Amino acid sequence: MKFDVAIIGSGLAGLTVALHLACDKKVVVISKRALLDGASNWAQGGIAAVLDSHDSHAAHIADTLTAGVGLCDEAVVRYIVENGKSAIDWLIEQGVPFTPDAKAELGFHLTREGGHSQRRIIHAADATGHVVQVTLEQKVRAHPNITLLENHSGVKLITRRIGRTQAETRVKDVADSDRRIDPLQCLGLYVFDEVSDRVETVLADHTVLATGGAGKVYLHTSNPDTATGDGIAMAWRAGCRVSNMEFMQFHPTCLYHPTAKSFLISEALRGEGGLLKIPTKAETDAGQRFMQHYDERLELAPRDVVARAIDAEIKKRGLNHVDLDISHCSPGFIEEHFPTIYARCLTYGIDITREPIPVVPAMHFTCGGVVTDLAGCTDIPCLYAVGEAACTGLHGANRLASNSLLECLVMGRSTAQFIKRQAARTEMRMQEAVSDWDDSRVADADEAVVISHAWDEVRRLMWNYVGIVRTDKRLARAQHRIHLLQEEIEAYYRSYRVSSNMLECRNLIQVAALVVQSALSRKESRGLHFCQDYPYILPKALPTVLTPNAGFR
């Protein structure tokens, strides 16, 4: 299969790139599951942008920089923030039905979330991601220039060597401005078709990684099952640098219930007055608020602060969870602003208009990723990364709430604009460099239990040793065991035909190794990375950058 552009991932970043390119290019969107089975579809809160005269770009930039604790790239922050309104305007043009507010300047309701100094979160009730994704999915499915490959998993990026003089990187190099990259060029990728149970070759002039984050590397996560770090792992194996992988954001408030799976309680609920309290069944301080002991911003402190506060209270008091209470607001207000959360909690016997919601922190967002510039370019020409798979410099050491969907929109359009300006490669040059996938020397897997055990072990290992609060001793233990798991999964990969579970497990273990190596490299506590051995913050903020050819795999 040959296309102008291959996009791996069907979340907001991937669909944005596709729709901005489809008028001029032949595009394929490769989705691991169905088109709506990604993290974007689960996003509740909304999209942060300056949409009101009481707000300003300077204020949004300042809030982002504060949350990022010195590690944000200010030029990137400025670019994305200043392009926020045009990105929202584009969604409105596509027909996204944001929650209206006749009194607002733009005509839409704006809410506020932790870390924001103003109301600037435009939303569609409490199911923004789903509403946006459904709208764009309809556009993508109807477009004649877009081919959809659902139930296809990325296996390996296809690269070839080019002349050293052609391989100068466009990416900002945070470590060495004179460094040259390996002389590679991306030609597309191999994908595994779950329906036909075979690996297919997809050739493309440009390949875009929009595969999302790696939430499933942890035992408890708000992410869908598809969030296995596929793009990050594939880019790393191909030769791309990754940055800031130690900054894994734990959302403070996921529903705690024995039968609930990965259900997030939006930060907007705290933005509209939700209070964190000690559970009523606790022996002491039952029903009392506790955030005043941790931060003057109380429930509206940034996510890392709130997550650590909840974690501390749970451990100190021997609790299973804390309570998030919005029952002091009127039932009508709650049902209007949080219909999804209200309905979902009711299915578990929790009426949030009358009682608090039991919540615990869970892994939520991957702040690091594949190093890119403002055009989405990675270290390998013709390979791009957009959205949660990328590390642009926007999030720094901690993502500001609702900046993620904004980044998908702005960077998706920026990457599409850059691709439009590039000349197409010739068909002959493409075909010369690529051969089909060869599985003639491997066998069918005889023990799938090996994969399920490795999958379970790495996630428990990461939760227990590389969680909200870390120590070098725990990290070293995790690193040792992860290296053994890597050896096991690589031997399995070389010996047997690929499957979706094998590919995801291999990618999870690779991402886990990157997270642990990054965490061990940081000798301070900054943002989302809190290490008891180094509880202070260093005067100079430096990103963690890992390079594949620098001896680490």
Residue 30, both tokens: 């490769």
Quote the radius of gyration of the chain (alpha carbons, Å): 23
- CA 283 – CA 301 distance, rounded (Å): 27
- CA 442 – CA 471 distance, rounded (Å): 41
**Three-state DSSP state, 233:** helix
CB neighbour list of residue 316: distance below 8 Å, 6 or more residues apart: none
Strand partners, 496: 443
Q: Name the residue type at position 294.
A: Y
User: Cβ atoms within 10 A of the Cβ of 189, count?
Assistant: 24
Cβ–Cβ < 8 Å for 20, 83: no
Strand partners, 30: 8, 149
Question: Of the candidates 398, 330, 411, which has an alpha carbon nearest to the alpha carbon of residue 368?
Answer: 398
Q: Which residue has 């702040």 as its token pair?
A: 367
Find the catalytic residue in 303, 344, 399, 474. 303
Could you confirm whether 303 is annotated as catalytic? yes
- CA 247 – CA 468 distance, rounded (Å): 10
CB neighbour list of residue 394: distance below 8 Å, 6 or more residues apart: 64, 68, 72, 73, 76, 77, 80, 403, 407
Length of the chain: 553
**Terminus-to-terminus CA distance in the chain, angstroms?**
31
User: Cβ atoms within 10 A of the Cβ of 505, count?
Assistant: 28
Element of type H or E holding 303: helix 303-317
Which amino acids are annotated catalytic? 303
